Structures are given as C-alpha cells and as structure tokens.
Structure 1
Amino acid sequence: MRLIKLSSNMNSFHEVKFKDGLNLIVGRQANPNNSDNRNTYNGVGKSLIIYLIHFCLGSNKIKVFEDKIPGWEFRLDIELNGEKYSLHRNTSKQNELYINNEKHTLTSFRNELLPKAFNIKSPIKSLTFNTLFPRFIRRDRECYSHYDTFVKKEQDYSKLLNNSFLLGLDIGLVENKKRIRDEHKSTKDLAKNIENDSTLKGYFDNKDDAEIEILDLEEEINKLEDEIDNLKISDNYHEIEKEADNAKFKRASLENKRVIINNAIRSINKSLEIKPDISVRKVMELYRNAEKEIPEMIANEIEKTVSFHEDLLQSRKNRLYKELNKKKAQLSNINNQIKQIGNEIDEFLGYLDTHKALDEYISINNKLSALKIKHEKLEEYQEILKAYKKKVKALQTEFTTQDQITDEYLEGIDDLLERIMQTFRELAKEFYNKPGGITIENNEGENTLRYNITAKIQDDSSDGVNEVKIFCFDMTLLLLQQNHNMKFLFHDSRLYSNMDPRQRCTLFNLAYNKSTKNNFQYIASVNEDTLFSFKDFMQTDDYQKVIEDNIILELTDESEESKLLGIQVDMDYEK
C-alpha cells in the first residue's frame, strides 16, 4: 500500500500529495522572531494528518470530528498491489465508508482491505486490519512510548500475535499456546467454581467422603421412594384430623361430667348412711333414769316430735334415692357416650395412621428431590473431578509438546531469524556503535505468549535511544516485507523530540536511503526546529537533496488559512 493523496470536500483544506521515497510534512513558524508564545507550529495540523489517514482507512468512530467539523468528507487515494483505490468517509456519516464509490460498513470495509494488504483470507481472532495497519502509522501519544506498542491499550497476546505475523513467524504456534492456556485457565476456573459450590465445598479436598456420602444418599433415596410407593394419600386428611380432635374434646367434656356425677353419687350415698341419733324410747329412758316422772302431755309431745323427724328423714331418704337413681342413669348414659366417642376416635386415629395428608406427601417428595439433586451434584462432581485430572494432565503434556515443537521450529528458521536480527542490527549500528538486535526465543512459561520477542539497543533507557529503537523496529517490519503489502511508514514529530541532532540526522538519511533504494515511502510530520537542529551536520547539497527537496507540505501558524484545515478548530482527537 502506497499513499497517493489526502484531500477533502472543503476548499480550505490543504491537500496532501505523497510521493515515493522520503515525504516531509513540516510545521513552520511564519515569523520565528515573534516573541508571542501563542504562535507555534504545534496545532497547525501535522498530527491531524495521521488521524485523517486512519479515519479514511477504517478507524473506529472519532466523535470529535463529528462534533467539531461536521459534514467534512475526507478522501484518501492509495495504490495497493498495482491497483488504485479511492477511499472516502464523511465526519457526519462515519458508519458509511466508500471504496471507489462502493458503500461499505466498517466491518465490510476492513474485511475488503485485509486480504489485499495482509494476505489474510480467513478471519483470525485478534489479527485484523485494524490491528495490523497501525504498525505502519503509529497514531496516539502512548504508541510512541515503546517499540512494540502500536495500538492503545493493546493486550500482550494481540501485540505478540500481530508482531509475530509481520516478522514472518509461525502464528499457529502463538494461537495454540493461547488456546492451551485458555483451556488450562477455564479448567482451573471450573475447579474453583466446584470448590466454592455450597453443596460440594465440604468434599472438594476429601474425595473419599464424597464417595461415602453418595452411598448414604442412595440408601436414603431408596428408603423415601419405597415410603412414597406405599403411601396412601387422603384428600380429606385434615378434615378427619379435625373431627378426631373434636371427638377428643367431646370425650374430655363427658369425662369431666362423669367425674361430677360420680362425686354426686358418693355424696348421696353418704347422706343415706346418716341415721337419727335419739329415738322416743331413749328419751323416755333418760327421764326414768333421772327418776323423774314424765308427764303424759310431755310424753305425747316427744313422741310427736320424734315421729315428725322420722317422717322428715324418710322423705329425705326417698328423695336421695330418687336423685341417686337419676345420677346413675346419667352416669350410664355418659359412659355409653364416652365409649361410643372412643370408638369413633379409634376409627379416626386408625385411618390417620394408615393415610397421609397431601402436604405431607409433598414434603416427603420435596425431601426426595433435594436428596436426588445433591446426589446428582456429587456424582457430577466425581465425574468432573476425573475429567479435570485428565484434562490437566493432557494440557500439561500439550504444553510440553508445544514447547518442543517451538524449539524445533525456531531451530529450523535460522535464516529468517538471522535476517530479522541483521536488519534491525544494521539500522541500529547507523546510530550507535553499541550492540543491538532482535532476539526471538521460546517462552516456556504457563502463559499465553509463545515467543519472547526482544528488540535491544544497549543503553536503550537513555533519552533518544528508545525513539531510535522504535524507528529501527518499525523500519525492520517494513523492510522484511513479511505477510504484508505495505510500502510506507509514517511517523509523527513526537518520535524525534528526545533525539539529539546527530540521531535525527542519521534517521532522516537512513529514511531517505532505505525508502529510495527499496521503492518505499517514509513519511514524517516534523517541526522545522527538528530539521534545523542537524542542518550543520550535513553538506548543503545533501541537506537540499534529503530534506528540502522532500518537503511535500508546509503548515504555519501565520493564519487560520495556513493550517491544515484552513480554519481554526480546537479539538482533542486523542481522546
């Protein structure tokens, strides 16, 4: 892929025409002697060009474009595999992308370009146009922090997969290790879920107890099933139970009455046993013994009195006998009632003893269901435990097997590894007389990363050395031409900010020579002070040939019209 032209439907936009070889987009101060700090070549639109190229090549929606420059349409003309394509996209209709005026969704747009630019015919997870393309045009600020960081917040696996692909390494090994590691993790997670299950938690560390519990559960389940099979269910169980309770209450009342009647009968019998203490004869004898003559009149009165009392006692006795007979009749009746109610109670209790209520049946059935669920869980646990052990052993074996395969693979691609090493090393040696190179080793750890890919320049923690390593790594991907048809590399001005002037001079000379020799494009947005900083290190003719002759666009702070959009717009497109 080569860039031909970036344009817009707005006349104020400064069209960017790209060419073969070195392309410089320069930000200048219109009046370098102006002391007004507000005038600066930062913000004139150099970095915006990178965002617009990403925008035209299917980046995710950039909301600030829709908010700040609605209705702007940007067109990027490219050449890919000898064919020319015109790509355009409107800031207000960002879900619509066009290839040669053919409308696409974001997904179909990327799928259309992926095989053309990166020779990928079938989808590969985490290896897409949107993960591969940024490796040739770093966009966000954080993408300039480390040599293998091309996409904001990119995961380590995706980073390795994409970099391995562009270095020409076997990504099948990378995918296999990720698959094995994911299976290993999911297997461990499954074991953890089992361990945390409230039913199984107590058995996880004691396998023998689980087997014993299964046997106990089976016995209890069989017992309950037999009980349910022999169970007689009564629809009116509770009504009968209520009648039995009422009968018991009636019997208790009758028994209380029987006690009262028995007490009354005993009282009557005691009353019947009472006899008069003194008769007429005894009274007469008392007088005679006292040698007193009883007058005839008094004797008659005594006889009458005693006779009256005897009549009174006989009347009372008759009444008590009558009452006694009545109480005995009542007692007999109550005894019969008590006996009858007792028979009814016995019948009720006998029925209730041989029948069960529906809710009791449901209760037993629920208990049976709970035991069956527990039994099923424990059996499932036993099976999972066996499968878990088997799977862990298989995965450990596969880890070892893949390690061996990777070792053999790396031993068999010495030529490619040497080419990768030497390409990076030769670039680095142009900057420093220090050891440097890219090493690729087998990562045998239990993780998702198959290779350890390390780009190293001695003292690369120093200012400027990290940026040189970024340039060398990106240029290595371009020069190797492994699994891609990209013919350009684009860097933003922030790459050069920490370099000393000699490093900058070397970089642009290298970019010029490599892009010219290999018929590539090296595109750089750069501030004029960066270029001036190394002007004295180059011959005048060389500076003219390498720098001045390759400036394709100058943007200044002179006015709104001299900036990229031709208007003044403040927007933070890195959000």
Structure 2
Amino acid sequence: MFIKSLTFRKGGKKKDIVREITFRKGVNLIIDNTDNSDTSETGNNVGKTTVLRLIDFCLGGKKEKIYQDPEFIGRNEKGNKIKKFLEEEEVYVELVLIKDLDNENAEKIIIRRNFLIRTKKIQEINGESINDGNFSKKLAELTLGFKLKKPSFRNIICRNVRYSSEALNHTVKPLHFSTSNAEYEAIYLYWLGISISSNSNKIELTKKLSNENTYYQQIESSQGDNFNTVVQKINAYDRQIKQLNQQKERFNLNENYTQDLDRLNQTKQAINGLKTQIVSLAMKKNLILESQVELDKATPNIENNKVELIYSEVKKLLPDLQKRFEDILSFHNSMINEKKKFIGQELPQLDTDLEECEKQKNKLLEEEKVLSEKLQKTGALEELEKLIEQLTKQHEGKGRLEKVKELLISSENKINEFNGELNEINEQLRSQESEIVRKISLFNEHFSQKSISLYGESFLLSHKFSEAKGQMSLKLEISGLEENPGTGGKKGEIIAFDLAYIEFAEQLNIPHLNFILHDQIENIHDNQISTILLDLVRNINCQYIVPVLRDKLPREIDIDTYSILSLSQNDKLFKIP
C-alpha cells in the first residue's frame, strides 16, 4: 500500500481545504524554507514533522500528538492555538492509500478522522464509521489482510513511521521501552513472514503468568509460610480438633445443643474463609495500586526551570538542536498513564467482589452472634465452655489455612497451565529456527547491500533465543557497526534496514506498507543523504517521506524534483496567522 494523498479541511458548513498534499513514488520531501542564517527564525514550528504525525494519526495514532507536537513544546500558546483551530474549525484529515500508484483504478482505502468527541467525532474507513476498539483491526485487515489479535497493527507498522525518540534511535526495537519481549517476538515473526498460529496468544499468556506468579508470592508472603508448611499446619489442626471432639463427646448434652454448636463452628469457619478471601482480594487490589504508584514514581520529577536554563546554554553551543527535554518527558508520561489505565482494569471488579464478601461476612457474623447467645443460655459447664472455645479457635485456624491452601493450589494450577501453553508455543518457535535463519539470510542480502552503499560496511541482522524470568523469546540484533556509532551512523543503519525490509517483503510477498516516514535525515552526512535520495530509494518500490530544512540538503539534490510540500514562517502547515 502506498500513500496517494493527505488532505485536511474545515468541517461544518465551510468544507474549505486547509492543505492538500499529493504523494509520489520514490522520494517525497517536505521542505522547510526557514532561513537558518536569520537567528530570529527557527524551523521548529512550521509543521514539517506534523505531516508525519497527521499520517500516523490516520493510521490509528493519538490526536494529542498533533497539538502536543514537540515542534511546539516550550511554546504552549502555539500548541493551544493549534488545538483550538482543529476543534473550533472541526478540521478533519483524509488519508488515501492506494495499492498501485501507477494505476488510478487500483484498490483504495480512504481514512477520515477529526479531533472532536462524542457525536461530532469522525472516524471512518471507506465511509464506514469505526469505533476506537476496531479501528486498528480494520486497518490491519484492509492493508495487510491480517486478522489475528497480536501483533497489533500499530506494532507491525512501527518501523514504517519513525519520528519518536525510540523509533529514531533503535532499529529493531522502535517502540516504547516498556514493550515486552513477547510483543517484540510477535512483531519479528510477522516481519519475517513466519506464521505460528498460537503465537498471538503468547503476549497475553506472558502477562497472565507474570501476574499469577506475583499473586502466588504475595499469598505466601502474607502467611510467612510456603505451601508445604501450610499443609502440615492444617494436619496439626486436624489432630487437635479430633482430640478436642473426643473430649466433647464425653459430656452428656442434649441434641439441639450439639446441632447449634456444630452450626456455630461451621459459621465461624465460613467467616474465617471469607476473611481470608477478603485479604486475598485486597492483596490483589493493593498489588495493582502499588504497580500504579511505581509507575507514578517512574514519571520523572525534574525541575523544569533548571532544565530550561541548561537547555538555553546548550542551545547557544548547538543552535541546530531540535529535540527538547519536554517532548521526551511528555511522551514518557503519556505511555506511563496508558500503562496505568491498562493495569487498573481489574479494580472495579475487585471492589465489587470485596463489597459482596463483606456483605456475606456481616450476615454470618450476625448469625454467629445469635448462635453464641443461644448457647450461652443453655447453662453449659464451665469446663465445656473452655473446651468449646479451644475447639472454635482450632476450627478458625484450620478454616483460614484451608482457604490459603485453596488459593495457593488454584494459583499454582494456573501457573502450570500458563507455563504449559507457553512451552508449547516456544517449542513451535524452536521448530521454526531453520526457517528463521533462512529468512534472515535473505534479508541480509538486501541489508548488506544498502549498508555497503552508505558506509562501505556490511550491516547484518541475526537472531537468538533469550531466556528472561524463565521465559524464552526471540530477539533480533544488528552487528557490523562500531560499538558506539554516532547519531548519523545509527540513522543510516535504520534507513538501510527499513529500505531493505521493503525489498525483502516484496521478494517474499509478505503483506506490508510501501511507505517509510522518517524524521531528522539532516543528522546524516551529506554523502549519505545523496546516496539515499539519489540511488537507494530510486531502485525500490517504495515512498520515502521525510521533512527537512532546505539548507540542510546537499547541493546536488534537485529539491524541486523531489519536493511535495514547501513550508515557511509565512506559510505554515495549518495556515494559522
């Protein structure tokens, strides 16, 4: 799939086109004409990178990334103005994808989204309104023919869209640092065109296993005993209860007294079972709340004024510095908040269960009170009362430990079940190792060729099976670089990788997107920029879409030939005065 056009227009009655961008095969430059020789102007706020973000938004990205674009960080008024414009003018974005740019009649996918909510929200694919939960799934189905739950569409295309810090600095791990090994494994298998039917469940299984292991450890920790000790303590309670019952039978009591006493013991045991269950539920709830607190701690607490002062000093030394501390902080915090929402999904049900258990416990406590008062009125012997008190305590202790044992057995069964399913998936994965090696070797033919053209050095992709926390996962690595390559070298590696992948996917007919969105190409040396734009992209069936300052391009690049959009301080992307 290629990008045919990107249009954003005002909604409501106006329908005025704000900007229409037509894309071509090959190099597509978004030119920033800001004059760097004029120190009063900067190219950081004309909206060149926002074009990439708008495309990403149409592909399921978050709307906040448009008006919280790091191009505007430090210019809150500018970001607020963009947000106000998009909402008040009811601006909607239309992205048209096409299967073949050379054939106007080829299959098209028309995506429309706006920045409003509720009844005014527009989120359509080919004229059909799609809710948030199904939007990315529908895109995966239409663009890639992919219907499995995992990997997600957004994860599959993470190497097609690179403007975040992670994506610009990590070739094969371009997602947020919190992304799990299981999630990357699913992505890698898709990239390599290797299908393991059950692998889509591995991500969910891995999360469930981790949570269950933590829960099991919390139960043991709350008791101060392991499972075997709990069993032995229950056996000890049984022996003591048997002895006390034998003593009780020596007393000549009426039948009703015995029945009431049995009911009282059963009630006390049930109460203790509920108390243990309440503790267990509260433990689960606290575990989730503690995880959220840990995530809050992960949110950097930094004195922004000091950072701004430092940044100002650095800016004097490095006037071309584009990235700001706040954009990394904002992105990190947004990911932390998303993770907090995810892990807090169980809280409402836990609160409901806790409330129900409390109701049952209170009902039984009332019943216990009635029975106790009834038995006290029978005039039992003082010795018998002491015996009953001891027996009751033994039943309470046993009931509590029986519930703990039940919880541990249930948790261990789940752990064994999850491990069994994961082992089956991992065995299937290992059985595919020869195919993984074959596919990577084919990929390296393209990757090496691109890297040699850029740096005279052969970059290579390789794999390994890594063990972490008892779980195996597939990892991809790149070698052949210096141990600490510079920024330009890393970005050149990424470009070589992404271009090579399109050739590889075309060769093996792996469903893929034929466009690459890259930011910060100006960090690469002029020689490499020329090689990429004039040689490498030309020979690949792709679109290479990059925003760049005009004066950062080598002289031999014919800008007019490759430019699809020119922006400046007088003609910014949204044309807001």
TM-score category of the 2 structures, normalised to the smaller one: 0.5 to 0.7
AA of the residue aligned to 1:83 = E
1:67 to 67, 84, 87: 84
CA spacing shift, 1:364–1:99, aligned 2, 3 Å: farther
Between the aligned partners of 2:125 and 2:96, the Cα distance in structure 1 is 10
Indicate the residue corresponding to 2:452 in structure 1.
429
Residue 211 (structure 1) shift: 5.4
Aligned equivalent of 2:245, options 222, 226, 242: 222
The reply to whether residue 193 of structure 1 matches residue 218 of structure 2 is: yes
Which residue does the alignment assign to 1:553?
Answer: 565
Following superposition, the deviation at residue 40 of structure 1 comes to 3.1
From 46, 52, 55, give the equivalent of 1:53: 55
Whole-angstrom CA distance in 2 between matches of 1:361 and 1:483 = 80
Q: Which has the larger radius of gyration?
A: 1
Q: Where does residue 115 of structure 2 map in the other structure?
A: 91
Does the 8 A contact of 1:22 with 1:511 survive in 2? no
Q: Which residue identity does 1:21 align to in structure 2?
A: G
Q: Which residue of 1 aligns with 2:126?
A: 100
Q: Residue 135 of structure 1 is aligned with which of 150, 159, 162?
A: 159
Please state whether the residue corresponding to 2:110 is helix, strand or coil. Answer: strand
CA distance in 2, matches of 1:524, 1:77: 18
**Contact preservation (8 Å) 2:4, 2:97:** yes
What is the CA-CA distance between 1:445 and the residue it aligns to? 4.0
Q: Which secondary structure does the structure 1 equivalent of 2:45 belong to?
A: coil
**Do 2:196 and 2:429's aligned partners in 1 also have CA atoms closer than 8 Å?**
no
Q: Distance in 1 between matches of 2:430 and 2:256?
A: 74
Alpha-carbon contact 2:237-2:394 (below 8 Å) kept: no
Aligned positions of 1:503-514 closer than 5 A:
503-514=528-539
Q: Deviations over 1:81-114 (max 9, x none)?
A: 8412322222234743122333222223322211
Partner amino acid for 2:438? D
Which of 446, 470, 479 aligns to 1:456? It is 479
Equivalent of 2:574 in 553, 562, 565: 565
Which amino acid in the other structure matches residue 464 of structure 2? Answer: E
Distance in 1 (alpha carbons) for counterparts of 2:414 and 2:544: 51
Distance 2:59 2:453 in 1: 33
Matched residue SS, 1:485? coil
Tell me: CA distance 1:361–1:104, structure 2 relative to 1, closer, same or farther (3 Å): farther
**AA aligned opposite 1:552:** I
Aligned partners of 2:21 and 2:565 also within 8 Å: yes
Deviation at 1:79, TM superposition (A): 1.3
Range moving further from structure 2, 112-121 or 17-26: 112-121
Q: Which one-letter code corresponds to 1:43 in the other structure?
A: N
Take 1:513 and 1:428, find their aligned partners in 2: how far apart are those partners? Answer: 16
Alpha-carbon distance change, 375 to 510 in structure 1, aligned in 2, over 3 angstroms: farther
Q: 1:473 to 1:117 in 2, by over 3 A?
A: same
CA root-mean-square deviation: 4.0
Name the CA distance, whole Å, in 1 between partners of 2:416 and 2:132: 43
2:33 paired residue among 28, 35, 45: 28
> Structure 2 regions of 5+ residues with no counterpart?
11-15, 68-81, 101-105, 259-374
The 3-state SS of whatever aligns with 1:14 is strand
Percent identical among aligned pairs is 21
Other structure's SS at 1:54 match: helix
Gaps of 5+ in 1: 235-351, 569-575
Structure 2 vs 1, CA of residues 373 and 455 (structure 1 numbering), >3 Å: closer, same or farther?
farther
Q: Which amino acid aligns with 1:485?
A: H
Question: How far is the alpha carbon of 1:148 from its aligned partner?
Answer: 2.8
Partner of 1:258: none
Q: How many angstroms apart in 2 are the aligned matches of 1:228 and 1:436?
A: 91
Q: Match for residue 349 of structure 2?
A: none
- Aligned residue for 1:416? 439
Alpha-carbon distance in 2 for matches of 1:375, 1:89: 61
- Partner SS state of residue 69, structure 1: helix
Deviation at 1:453, TM superposition (A): 0.5
Partners of 1:401 and 1:108 in 2: CA distance:
30
**Pair 1:402–1:230, CA change in 2 (3 A):** same
Distance 1:483 1:99, change over 3 A: same
Name the stretch that deviates more: 365-374 or 421-430. Answer: 365-374
Bigger mean CA offset, 434-443 vs 446-455: 446-455
TM-score (norm 1): 0.63
- Mapping of 1:250-329 within 5 angstroms? none
CA change 1:220–1:6 in 2 (3 A) is farther
- Count of aligned pairs between the two proteins: 426
| TM-score normalised by L of structure 2 | 0.63
- The answer to whether the 8 A contact 2:219-2:404 is kept is yes
- Which residue in the other structure is 2:97 paired with? 78
Q: Could you give the per-residue CA deviations for residues 120-166 of structure 1, whole angstroms, max 9, x where no partner exists?
A: 22423xx2223223431123244212113434455133233223312
